C-alpha cells in the first residue's frame, strides 16, 4: 500500500500548484483525494474519505459562483442566474475542471474502483473537485476558496451566460447547425380562446417529425416555448 500511496502522492504538488493553494494542513488534501473505496478497503486508522468535504465544497462552490453572477449580471432575474449556475456547477462541468487539473491521477482509490476505471468516472471526479474546494475552505477560509474557484469556473460561467442570453430559437438553430442537421420548421397547429386572450399552439418540425410543441399568447412566444422544449428533447437524445 505504501508504494501505491507514494506513487499517487507524487501528483499532489502539481495539483496544489494548479489550484494556486498550498495546504497548511496536508491531512485535508489527503482527505479530499481519498475515495471511500480506498478508506474502506485499507481501513487505515483515522483516514476519512472525502464525502464530508464534498458536502462542504458543494455549498462553498454555490456561494462563490452565486456571488460572482450577482455582481456581473446585476439585471438578470433569479431564474436566469439559477440556470447559468446549474449548467456550470453540474457533473459534466465539474468533470471538465477535474480533467484540466488531472485530479484522477491524484486520487486514492480502492483496487476495485481502480480496475473499473474510477480515475475517469465523471461522478467520482466531480465529487473530488467539490471535496478539494471544501478542503481549501477549511484550510484557508472563504477568501482562499474564492481565489481557487474563480479562475477555474469564470470561463465556464461567462460561456454559460452568453448562451443563456440567446433566445431558444437561436440556440436550437445553432445546435442543429453544429450537428449538420436540417433546420426546424415552426407551424401554428392551433389557436384557441377569445380574441383578447388568444392562445397559440406551435409545433417544431424536424425531418418531417413533430419533436415538440409550445403555447403562448403570441406566435413568437409560442415558438420560443416550443424551441425550448425541442432543446430539451434533443439533449435527451444525446
Q: Give catalytic residues, as residue numbers.
A: 58, 130
Distances (CA, A) of 123 to 117, 126, 162, 172, 205: 12, 5, 26, 28, 35
CA distance 39 to 46: 9
Nearest partner of 44 among 95, 108, 87, judged by Cα: 108
CA distance 84 to 66: 10
Eight-state DSSP code of residue 184: P
How far does Cα 6 stand from its chain's mean position? 31
CA torsion through residues 193, 199, 205, 210, sign? negative
CA distance 145 to 60: 8
CA torsion through residues 29, 31, 156, 149, sign? negative
Residue 192 DSSP SS3: strand
Task: Quote the cell numbers at residue 115.
Answer: 480496475
Amino acid at each position: 500500500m505504501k508504494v501505491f500511496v507514494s506513487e499517487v502522492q507524487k501528483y499532489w504538488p502539481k495539483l496544489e500548484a494548479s489550484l494556486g493553494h498550498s495546504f497548511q494542513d496536508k491531512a485535508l488534501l489527503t482527505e479530499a483525494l481519498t475515495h471511500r473505496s480506498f478508506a474502506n478497503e485499507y481501513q487505515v486508522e483515522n483516514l476519512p474519505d472525502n464525502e464530508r468535504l464534498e458536502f462542504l465544497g458543494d455549498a462553498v462552490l454555490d456561494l462563490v459562483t452565486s456571488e460572482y453572477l450577482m455582481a456581473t449580471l446585476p439585471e438578470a432575474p433569479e431564474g436566469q442566474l439559477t440556470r447559468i449556475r446549474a449548467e456550470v456547477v453540474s457533473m459534466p462541468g465539474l468533470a471538465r475542471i477535474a480533467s484540466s487539473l488531472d485530479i484522477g491521477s491524484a486520487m486514492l482509490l480502492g483496487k476495485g474502483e481502480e480496475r473499473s476505471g474510477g480515475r475517469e468516472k465523471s461522478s467520482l471526479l466531480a465529487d473530488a473537485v467539490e471535496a478539494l474546494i471544501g478542503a481549501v475552505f477549511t484550510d484557508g477560509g472563504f477568501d482562499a476558496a474564492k481565489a481557487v474557484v474563480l479562475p477555474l469556473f469564470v470561463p465556464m460561467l461567462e460561456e454559460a451566460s452568453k448562451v443563456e442570453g440567446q433566445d431558444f430559437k437561436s440556440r436550437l438553430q445553432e445546435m442543429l447547425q453544429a450537428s449538420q442537421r436540417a433546420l426546424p420548421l415552426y407551424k401554428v397547429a392551433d389557436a384557441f380562446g377569445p380574441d383578447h386572450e388568444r392562445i397559440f399552439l406551435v409545433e417544431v418540425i424536424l425531418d418531417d417529425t413533430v419533436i415538440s410543441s409550445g403555447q403562448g399568447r403570441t406566435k413568437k412566444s409560442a415558438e420560443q416555448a416550443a424551441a425550448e422544449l425541442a432543446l430539451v428533447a434533443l439533449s435527451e437524445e444525446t
